Amino acid sequence: MSSIGGDHQTHHKPSHERGIGDKGALRDFGSNLLSTPIALRDSIIRHGKPTSDRAKSQTIFSNFFLHILPVRTHLHAIKATTTLGLGIATLVLFIILCVTGVLLMVYYKPSVDQAYASMLDIMHVVPTGRLMRNVHRWSAHAMVACVMLHMARAFYTAAYKRPRAFNWVIGMALFVLTLGLSFTGYLLPWDQLAFWAVTIGANIAQSPQELTDAIGITQYFDIGLWQKEVLLGAHHVGQEALIRFYVLHVMVLPVVTTILIGVHFWRIRKDGGLVRPSHADVDTDEMPALADVSTPLKSYGLMAMMKDKTPAVNREMRHTITTWPNVMYVIGAATMITVFAMLLLGYFFDAPLAEMANPTVPENPAKAPWYFLGLQELVSYSAFMGGVAIPAIVVLGLGLVPYLDREKEDVGLWFSGARGRRVAFISSVFGAVTVIGMLWFTVEFGWLRNWEATAHVPQIVITLFNPGTVLVALFAFWSVATVRVMNSTRMGAIALFTCFLVGFVILTYFATVHRGPNWNFYWSQSDWPVH
């Protein structure tokens, strides 16, 4: 590496001073040719081996793919308990999905006559096709799970506060996009499950009619039908819907998601890195035994510069380590674990493929993928409330959290400390009791239509007053009460988020395990009637 930054041409004389017959140029040509591999490498990587602090900084700073990272990273950021690696895992899953997705596109045919057959080809004929499809399916499920867990992590460590408020909103958009990607991909195999899940989904898009019908404005303003027609390009799920979902799944949504992921990561960097608690900047005796914790003589401060609460002058180097190679190890480890887990799942477990879509007979029960099953339980009370209004309220409510809770204390701490842990615990008990109580009540006694006195209430009453809306109202009340009692908006936010999280988990479990044919309650699948 002696010649880094140097010039490999061996100029004896400037060319215009050379006389005819002088062999200088030819000699240059020969030695240039011989040293071309080295010159090529040096023209790509324009710094030395990352042994010095300067070269380590340059490795990060002058690489297009790495320069979104700071050259030095706070020690707190690479502690396992800070992020659990969930953001990186989500990104890795997205990349796996892009790669396997493009490979699947080589054989998949988005046509109602051929889609199912091409799925069978991929599963049984195409070399590695089964593995690629399995990995694609499990990665899609894992990405939804990772996005949710990542969101919970960001929430409970208060990473949504200023200056990271808008990045939380972008995260919400990415959450919705991830669900959109999963939902559009769900139709493509064109099997029974796909067909009926998307039929239900498209009719949820139409369900605002429930409200417009009730107030008698459907004939003037039929937003429900409009949404369904734009989504399906028809009134039933068919060829038009398949090609629309395909375009959304392989082009529109991935491109938008890629752009927003870029913005999401870029803002982490601009907002001063990962959120960290104030005690993370206090000197302690126990510094981790990493190779280069010692403060270097020169900081290359401009390259390390980021916006944050300014550390004390000349102390910006404390508690930081060079990103290369320490953070790269962490990213590499998270990547390898994620890829390994997906390969393992894909190798041992086949992605389901039901029989070919049959528009005349629905699956019984027709269950959506697990992340929509909680919603499906709510939808079984009211299509509009469960499928449109409550999800919209949840997404809007979560998006507004950073603007409603601006308390600056205790960021970067899980649950913002002991008080928050207690609120989260009590709220999870409250959430569990109300959700289980509501489910028990609904299964045991039914709802308005099952009771003689209220059997004929107008639809608007059932739309507005059903187990789902009652739950949301209880959760909202609980969080406002927490804000008041604890005199803290952060505690109220923890209460609300915990209630929704617990509600989501219990509803998902309940709809997965305890709902059977005709959406009736069963203790287990073995109790389902045989037919």
Partner 1 sequence: MTAENNHIETSQRFKPPATRRDFLGLAATWSAIVAFVMATVGALRLPMPSVFPESNSRVKLGRPDRFAVGSATYFSKIRLWLFRDESGFKAISSVCTHLGCVAERQEDGQYLCPCHGSRFDQTGAVKGGPAPKGLVWLDLSLSPEGWIVADTLSDVGPETVLMAQV
List of residues contacting partner 1 (CB under 8 A): 196, 199-200, 202-204, 206-207, 209-210, 213-214, 226, 229-230, 233-236, 238-240, 244, 359-366, 376, 379-384, 387, 446, 449-450, 459, 462-463, 466, 517-520
Query: Looking at beta carbons only, is 419 or 514 nearer to partner 1?
Result: 514
Query: Looking at beta carbons only, is 175 or 196 nearer to partner 1?
Result: 196
From the CB of 505, what's the least distance to partner 1, in Å? 21
Nearby residues of 256 by Cβ (< 8 Å), 6 or more positions away: 177
For the record, the structure tokens of 395 come out as 């997404």
From the CB of 236, what's the least distance to partner 1, in Å? 7
Residue that is written with structure tokens 């490979």 in the block: 103
Torsion, Cα 404 408 413 418, to 10 degrees, reads -80
CB environment 318-355: b (16+ within 10 A), e (fewer): bbbbbbbebbbebbeebbeebbeebbebbeeeebebbe
Q: Give me the numbers of helices (H) and strands (E) for the chain, helices first please.
A: 22, 2
From the CB of 105, what's the least distance to partner 1, in Å? 21
Query: Looking at beta carbons only, is 247 or 473 nearer to partner 1?
Result: 247
From the CB of 447, what's the least distance to partner 1, in Å? 9
Measure the N-to-C terminal CA separation of the chain; round to a whole number of Å. Answer: 75
Q: Compute the distance between CA of residue 410 and CA of residue 417 in angstroms, rounded to an integer.
A: 7
Query: Looking at beta carbons only, is 213 or 292 nearer to partner 1?
Result: 213
Query: Looking at beta carbons only, is 230 or 436 nearer to partner 1?
Result: 230
Query: Looking at beta carbons only, is 36 or 459 nearer to partner 1?
Result: 459
Q: Please provide the DSSP assignment of 498-509 as one string.
A: HHHHHHHHHHHH
Angle at 362 between CA 360 and CA 367, to 5 degrees: 160
Query: Looking at beta carbons only, is 233 or 311 nearer to partner 1?
Result: 233
Contact predicate 113/258, CB 8 Å: no
Query: Looking at beta carbons only, is 268 or 390 nearer to partner 1?
Result: 390
Q: Compute the distance between CA of residue 417 and CA of residue 428 in angstroms, rounded to an integer.
A: 17
For the record, the structure tokens of 458 come out as 């107008």
Query: Looking at beta carbons only, is 368 or 398 nearer to partner 1?
Result: 368
From the CB of 370, what's the least distance to partner 1, in Å? 17
From the CB of 378, what's the least distance to partner 1, in Å? 10
Q: Please provide the DSSP assignment of 108-151 as one string.
A: ---STTTHHHHHHHHHHTSTTHHHHHHHHHHHHHHHHHHHHHHH
From the CB of 220, what's the least distance to partner 1, in Å? 17
Phi, psi of 504 (to 5 degrees): -60, -45
For the record, the structure tokens of 445 come out as 């006694």
From the CB of 492, what's the least distance to partner 1, in Å? 32
From the CB of 222, what's the least distance to partner 1, in Å? 13
Query: Looking at beta carbons only, is 180 or 233 nearer to partner 1?
Result: 233
From the CB of 85, what's the least distance to partner 1, in Å? 38
Query: Looking at beta carbons only, is 204 or 398 nearer to partner 1?
Result: 204
> Would you give the distance in Å from CA 227 to the centre of its chain?
25
Q: Compute the distance between CA of residue 171 and CA of residue 398 in angstroms, rounded to an integer.
A: 10
515 strand-pairing partners: 521
Nearby residues of 285 by Cβ (< 8 Å), 6 or more positions away: none
From the CB of 237, what's the least distance to partner 1, in Å? 9
